[in-house]
Amino acid sequence: MNPQQTVTHWIEILPGIGWLTAGLCAWLPCMALAGELVWSEEFNSGDVPDSTVWSYDLGSSGWGNAELQNYTDRPENARIKDGALVITVLEESSGGASFSSARIRTQDKVTFKYGTIEARIKMPDLANGLWPAFWTLGNSFSEVGWPACGELDIVEMGSGTAIAQGVVNRRVGSTAHWEHEGTHASYGLHLDAAADLDDDYHIFRMTWTPEKVETFLDGTPVWVMEIDSANCTDCTEFHEPHFIILNVAVGGNYPGIHTPSGIAAPLPGEMRVDYVRIYDDGNTEMGGSAIDAANPVIGPAHSGSWYNPAQSGHGFSLEFGPDFLGNPLAVAYWFAYDDQGNPMFMMGTGTPEGNRVEIDLVSPVGMVFGEFDPDSVTREDGGTLVFEFSDRDNGVFSYTPSEFSSQDWGHSAIEAMPITRLFGVPAPAGFELPK
């Protein structure tokens, strides 16, 4: 499913792509097992797709493929119903086109590089003229365009060849598109399922590693492409973050139907998506505004005073900024008490990672007000603090006492105590920590 160009479902003959391989998994047990679930869209809440995660592509430009639909952001074309995303194709006058549909994407909001992505989808009856797809584009699309951004079609259905052969509701295609020596290159294969795929939900999966990309239908291999540097010297597009797209097109070059009268698919037509899930296979990198909001990167905006309102009387002063080399640094001061009620403070530094920072605490002991003798001061191990922030104004802290702080001060462990901001210190304009 190309963003602005005609889809070529099969191999484009280009020099130097003889290394491409596919079909071996039909005889080898090469389906990768998914790892830890790191992101999912379950479509279980709201009436329309979550705007913090999904944006809409709009218009009836033909999308470079002579398509016949107008993409809208109306709930009539994209809504949440019965725990699923429903993309509906309607036969109606819409934006100068004879059909309306929807195309939603996670560009800049949810991106990923490597890992396993899958969606549970019930396809519409395609015969003839509907073109549903579950696919990804490189998140650099807005800057470098297509095909330089790279494209991975996990599944697209409805090809003209499948229509001609009477298998349009069974044929699953997977294709990669990229830039090769300044021109468009593509490589794709298909699998004919044993039965029509509009009868029920089916799982469409892609595993993406630094070495290769593989796609599956209900666990059965469809296609594999090697993308490591030894086999593909110009596949940099497949080593950068991608975003997710779900859509149903009508007609165009892929189905080979260019007039509204040629569309014979029963309408309204619905593609239902039960979920989209991403699993970490050991190399997965998640990004985008929705991911950052859920797992905020700690920065100067978190500097200030923090406390637990239910335990007013002790708290933290936190400072976040770069060290003299420009690396992220956190400094924490904890105003607390020992088990006898005597006030004390501990301090320490740590390196922020995502929404978390671990602080090794020390406490100076032996000071006398007004008569400071450096030789009388010792720095005792105060234990370890861990801060985890859910947003700019809320988080939790945990504390593991040291042997010294436990025995001499009577400190005990604290597990995930909520904290909130008392007040903050504004960061310099335009300042951001390295991510």
Active site residues: 151, 156
Instruction: Give the pLDDT confidence score for residue 49 in this predicted structure.
Output: 98
> What would the pLDDT profile of 213-246 be if each residue is shown by its tens digit?
999 999 999 999 999 988 888 999 999 999 999 9
Q: Distance between CA atoms of 177 and 242, rounded to whole angstroms? A: 13
Of 54, 98, 60, 65, the closest CA to residue 290 belongs to 54
Q: Which phi and psi angles does 401 have, rounded to 5°?
A: -70, 155
Taking the CA atoms of 217, 221, 225 and 226 in sequence, report the sign of the dihedral they define: positive
Instruction: Give the pLDDT confidence score for residue 403 in this predicted structure.
Output: 94
Architecture of domain 24-286: Sandwich (2.60)
Q: Distance between CA atoms of 72 and 70, rounded to whole angstroms? A: 6
Instruction: Give the pLDDT confidence score for residue 283 in this predicted structure.
Output: 92
CATH topology of 24-286 equal to that of 300-424?
no
Instruction: Give the pLDDT confidence score for residue 373 in this predicted structure.
Output: 81
Q: Distance between CA atoms of 433 and 385, rounded to whole angstroms? A: 21
> What would the pLDDT profile of 81-123 be if each residue is shown by its tens digit?
999 999 999 999 999 999 999 999 999 999 999 999 999 999 9
Instruction: Give the pLDDT confidence score for residue 383 in this predicted structure.
Output: 95
Q: Distance between CA atoms of 188 and 54, rounded to whole angstroms? A: 27
Q: How many CB atoms lie within 10 A of CB 289?
A: 14
Instruction: Give the pLDDT confidence score for residue 424 in this predicted structure.
Output: 58
Instruction: Give the pLDDT confidence score for residue 295 in this predicted structure.
Output: 74
Instruction: With H, G, I as helix, E, B as strand and everything else as coil, classify residue 142.
Output: helix
Instruction: Give the pLDDT confidence score for residue 125 in this predicted structure.
Output: 98
Which CATH number applies to 300-424: 3.30.2010, 1.10.760, 2.60.120, 2.40.128? 2.40.128
Question: Strand 55-57 relative to strand 115-122: parallel, antiparallel, unpaired?
Answer: unpaired
DSSP string, 367-410: --TT---GGG-EEEEEEEEEEEESSSSEEEEEEE--HHHHHHS-
pTM over cut 0.75: no
For the chain, give every domain's residue range. 24-286, 300-424
Instruction: Give the pLDDT confidence score for residue 321 in this predicted structure.
Output: 87
**Residue appearing with tokens 């042997």:** 403
Instruction: Give the pLDDT confidence score for residue 24 in this predicted structure.
Output: 33
Q: Which phi and psi angles does 422 have, rounded to 5°?
A: -85, -50
Q: Distance between CA atoms of 67 and 109, rounded to whole angstroms? A: 26
Instruction: With H, G, I as helix, E, B as strand and everything else as coil, classify residue 290.
Output: helix
Listed in sequence order, the residues at least 6 apart from 255 whose beta carbon sits closer than 8 Å to its beta carbon are 128, 129, 130, 131, 158, 159, 160, 163
What is the mean pLDDT of each successive set of 10 residues along the chain, which is 435 residues long?
42 33 34 74 97 98 97 98 98 98 98 98 97 98 97 98 98 97 95 97 98 98 95 93 98 98 98 97 92 80 90 90 87 92 91 92 84 84 93 90 92 94 58 43
Q: Distance between CA atoms of 312 and 309, rounded to whole angstroms? A: 5
